[in-house]
Amino acid sequence: MWRFILSALIIWAGLHAYVFWRLGSVPLLARHLTRLHRWLLAALLWASFPLARWLTHRHLDALGVPLEFAANIWMGTLFLLFSTLLTLEPLTLGGWLFRRAIPTLRTTAVAVALTLSGVALVQGLRAPTIQAEEITLPGLPPALDGLTLATISDLHLGTTHHEAWLRARIDQLHTLQADAILVVGDLVDSDVRRVEPLLPILKTLHAPLGVWAVYGNHDTFGGGERTAELIRAAGFRLLRDECAPLAPGLTLAGVDDLGLRRHTAADAVTRTLSGRPAGDGATILLSHTPMAAETAATHGAQLMLSGHTHAGQLWPFGELVRLVHPLFHGRYNVAGMQVYVSRGAGTWGPPMRLWQPGEIVLLRLRTGHPMPDTAQAQ
């Protein structure tokens, strides 16, 4: 853990060093900030996030929570500044070409980054949209044709998203009048202690066939078993590498986050799906991280629901996420099994999104035959 924290702080320092180095050639800033002032500002901004975490760890939430919110916004802005300034490097050979134009080019890059930051902040703070999807499930009993499932993932409660935001999301879910609600991981962001006061609100979430949940990676980071206790206390059915009947002829299978056990993910999916009831019917796998889809298809799941990727959340970070998770966002078909990867309702880190807001997915299930075998998003 300490190695990870140290690496993160070094990367965080490197981003600041590069951006503030290049900001020295932006005329507007150079006129108003000396080199010393510029680097002092960089040091203060670098310290904002670890200081906020230290304050909240010491239960000084009155100071730590607003500072962390501001530091998260700065994190997103810094990343966009880094990205836009970095795009100039190959065009100018690090500043050796077009020397007279460098101040103008870097000023433009900063203006673009700040504009994108504003757009991303507005988009990130917007309510998630409702994405309606009709899914055909082979083996689904005719009596369940038209069954609706409201799927929500990546709420990341406790850091950026608190009481008012959670109430609004629950109101959105109840408006959908779905037969069941599926919470596909990352209910908690980084500290379950901050989410526990929200338990009375979580208890108001309900559906005729229940509220079901699986563990995401942040649920583990946020408190492990204490998070599981919170989820169960809210009245949700938590599926941890197990199967359970949602309705006659329809089974839900749920796995703990596969990204935290990448080397044994396929084994976990195989073991979980081997617990399906014998006989006909359809099976839906809830897996926060979109991994081991081929294994799930091989072992009898007809639909896999995931989140985790946030659809990249901030450009161009999404292109890096896509390299790790080819099942990135939207609908896919893997070996005859359908997959839907949600971009999530909340945000992680910066409360910012480019180019789409968060989403809640409303699935309407239909009986029928599988789609042709492709692996392309729709």
Q: Are strands 337-341 and 359-367 parallel, antiparallel or unpaired?
A: unpaired
**Which segments of 69-128 are extended strands (E)?**
none
**Token code pair at residue 352:** 């910012």
pLDDT band at 31 (very low <50, low <70, confident <90, very high): confident
Considering the domain architecture, whether residues 327 and 219 belong to the same structural domain is answered as yes
The mean per-residue pLDDT over the stretch 185-211 comes to 95
Name the more confident of 318 and 166. 166
Residue 233 scores a pLDDT above 70? yes
Considering the domain architecture, whether residues 156 and 220 belong to the same structural domain is answered as yes
The mean per-residue pLDDT over the stretch 87-96 comes to 89
The count of domains in the chain is: 2
End-of-domain residue from the set 125, 148, 183: 125
Considering the domain architecture, whether residues 40 and 62 belong to the same structural domain is answered as yes
Q: Is there a domain that residue 98 lies in?
A: yes
Residue 315 scores a pLDDT above 50? yes
Q: Is there a domain that residue 171 lies in?
A: yes
| HEC sequence for 24-48 | CCCHHHHHHCCHHHHHHHHHHHHHH
The mean per-residue pLDDT over the stretch 264-270 comes to 96
Gap between the Cα atoms of 279 and 271, Å rounded: 18
Condensed to tens digits (0 to 9), the pLDDT of residues 111-170 reads 999 999 999 999 999 999 999 999 999 999 999 999 999 999 999 998 888 899 999 999
Condensed to tens digits (0 to 9), the pLDDT of residues 133-148 reads 999 999 999 999 999 9
Gap between the Cα atoms of 110 and 127, Å rounded: 28
Considering the domain architecture, whether residues 114 and 133 belong to the same structural domain is answered as no
pLDDT at 1: 56
End-of-domain residue from the set 106, 125, 144: 125
**Percentage of the chain surpassing pLDDT 70?**
97
Considering the domain architecture, whether residues 181 and 110 belong to the same structural domain is answered as no
Considering the domain architecture, whether residues 323 and 240 belong to the same structural domain is answered as yes
pTM over 0.85: yes
Residue 196 scores a pLDDT above 90? yes
Whichever domain contains 225, its CATH number is 3.60.21.10
Gap between the Cα atoms of 5 and 177, Å rounded: 43
Q: Is there a domain that residue 373 lies in?
A: no
Considering the domain architecture, whether residues 106 and 151 belong to the same structural domain is answered as no
Considering the domain architecture, whether residues 137 and 117 belong to the same structural domain is answered as no
Half-sphere exposure of 16 (CA within 13 A, CB side): 21
Q: Is there a domain that residue 374 lies in?
A: no
Q: Is there a domain that residue 372 lies in?
A: no
Q: Is there a domain that residue 351 lies in?
A: yes
The mean per-residue pLDDT over the stretch 241-260 comes to 95
End-of-domain residue from the set 104, 125, 146: 125
Q: Is there a domain that residue 375 lies in?
A: no
Which H or E element spans position 218?
helix 217-221
Q: Which domain holds residue 88?
A: 2-125
Backbone angles phi, psi at 18, to 5 degrees: -65, -50
DSSP 3-state helix, strand, coil percentages of the chain (rounded to 5)?
50, 20, 30
The mean pLDDT value of the chain amounts to 92
Considering the domain architecture, whether residues 244 and 335 belong to the same structural domain is answered as yes
Condensed to tens digits (0 to 9), the pLDDT of residues 348-366 reads 999 999 988 999 999 999 9
Condensed to tens digits (0 to 9), the pLDDT of residues 50-77 reads 999 899 888 888 899 899 999 999 999 9
Gap between the Cα atoms of 337 and 294, Å rounded: 8
pLDDT band at 7 (very low <50, low <70, confident <90, very high): confident
Distance of CA 282 to the CA centre of its chain: 27
Selection from 343, 342, 353 nearest residue 73 by Cα: 353
Considering the domain architecture, whether residues 97 and 199 belong to the same structural domain is answered as no
pLDDT band at 209 (very low <50, low <70, confident <90, very high): very high
pLDDT at 191: 87
Considering the domain architecture, whether residues 64 and 21 belong to the same structural domain is answered as yes
pLDDT at 376: 44
pLDDT at 278: 73
Q: Is there a domain that residue 263 lies in?
A: yes
pLDDT at 371: 44
- Only one residue has tokens 């909340």, namely 346
Condensed to tens digits (0 to 9), the pLDDT of residues 328-341 reads 999 999 999 999 99
Q: Using CB atoms within 10 A of its CB, is residue 27 exposed (0-12), middle (13-18) or buried (19+)?
A: exposed
pLDDT band at 223 (very low <50, low <70, confident <90, very high): confident
Considering the domain architecture, whether residues 106 and 140 belong to the same structural domain is answered as no
